[in-house]
Amino acid sequence: MDSVNILGVRVDNVTTAETLALIERFIAKGQPHQIATVNPEFVMRAQQDGAFHVVLEECDLSLPDGAGLLWAARLLGHPLRERVTGSDTVPLIARLSAARGYRLYLLGAAPGVAEQAAAVLQRDYPGLQIVGTYAGSPDPTEEDEIVARIVAASPDVLFVAYGAPRQDVWIHRNLARLGVPVCMGVGGTFDFIAGVAVRAPLWMRRAGLEWLHRLWREPWRWRRMLALPRFAWRVLRQRFSFRRGRN
């Protein structure tokens, strides 16, 4: 698979259509696979968190979620073809699952949100099988119970909404015993689907300004957003270091 190395983190150069095709392939194989939705915050967190870096490196598919990744990849001379976000991909996977008979499990978010999201998805995609919803917690003390719930439900796709990096570390730690063909961290996607949170208008998403909308709606995120200018600076340094090396 073609991929781009951005500050030491692998980002796969896939389109939405290719992502859905890979998910079908993962389910057909039946072995557990992990999908991460990588954005600049992931990349910067991986600079300081070695365990998280290992999780991203060992994922079976690292989606180019953030608009900043497309900018960085283009600057580094290896453009990504498309932004593939978790928030856009989850409904597409639900539609695919309704058509193919795949079984979904929704884990995480605040109590009741996964149930609301499940109801919306089943309304929008008649015949969709959602075999379980549970808020739970990424706390290791709850893992055995949660894993038992999921194994008993036997889903083909598990969406985990604990927020990064907790959701991705949780999946990585439990992937083998879950045995689910597709496990994907989806951040705040359940909130968007359930209508608990409002996603940026389409024009802002297309302009790469979704982060600004989220900051406006959730100003407490300002500390996390500081990763964005640091990310841009590090990418520029990588670009100019590469240029000097060639010269």
Measured from the Cβ of residue 163, the count of other Cβ atoms closer than 10 Å reads 15
Q: Answer yes or no: is pLDDT of 199 > 70.
A: no
**What confidence score (pLDDT) does residue 38 get?**
97
DSSP state at residue 60: S
CA distance 191 to 169: 21
What's residue 175's pLDDT?
98
What confidence tier does 25 reach under pLDDT thresholds 50, 70, 90? very high
Interval 43-90: pLDDT, tens: 999 999 999 999 999 999 999 998 899 999 999 999 999 999 999 999
Residue with token string 């951040």: 187
Q: How confident is the model at residue 247 (pLDDT cuts 50, 70, 90)?
A: very low
* Angle (CA) 68 43 25, round 5°: 90
Is the CB of residue 84 less than 8 Å from the CB of residue 14? yes
In the numeric block, which tokens belong to residue 25? Answer: 């392939």
Residues 6 or more apart from 28 whose CB is under 8 A from it? none
Determine the pLDDT at residue 85. 93
* pLDDT tens-digit series, residues 2-12: 999 999 999 99
Residue ranges of domains in the chain, CATH in brackets: 3-65+80-195 (3.40.50)
Region for residue 208 given its phi and psi (left: phi exceeds 0; alpha: psi -120 to 50; beta: otherwise): left
Is the model more confident about 204 or about 110?
A: 110
CA distances from 216 to 22, 28, 111, 187, 209 (A): 35, 42, 25, 18, 11
Span 216-220, average pLDDT = 57
DSSP state string for 171-209: HHHHHHHH--SEEEE-TTHHHHHHTSS-PPPHHHHHTT-
The overall average pLDDT reported for the chain is 90
pLDDT, tens digit, 9 for 90 and up, residues 148-186: 999 999 999 999 999 999 999 999 999 999 999 999 999
Average pLDDT over residues 175-201: 90
Beta-sheet pairing, 157-161 with 9-12: unpaired
Is the full-model pTM beyond 0.85?
yes
Q: Is the pLDDT of residue 246 over 60?
A: no
Alpha-carbon gap, residue 134 to 113, rounded angstroms: 9
Percent of the chain residues topping a pLDDT of 70? 85
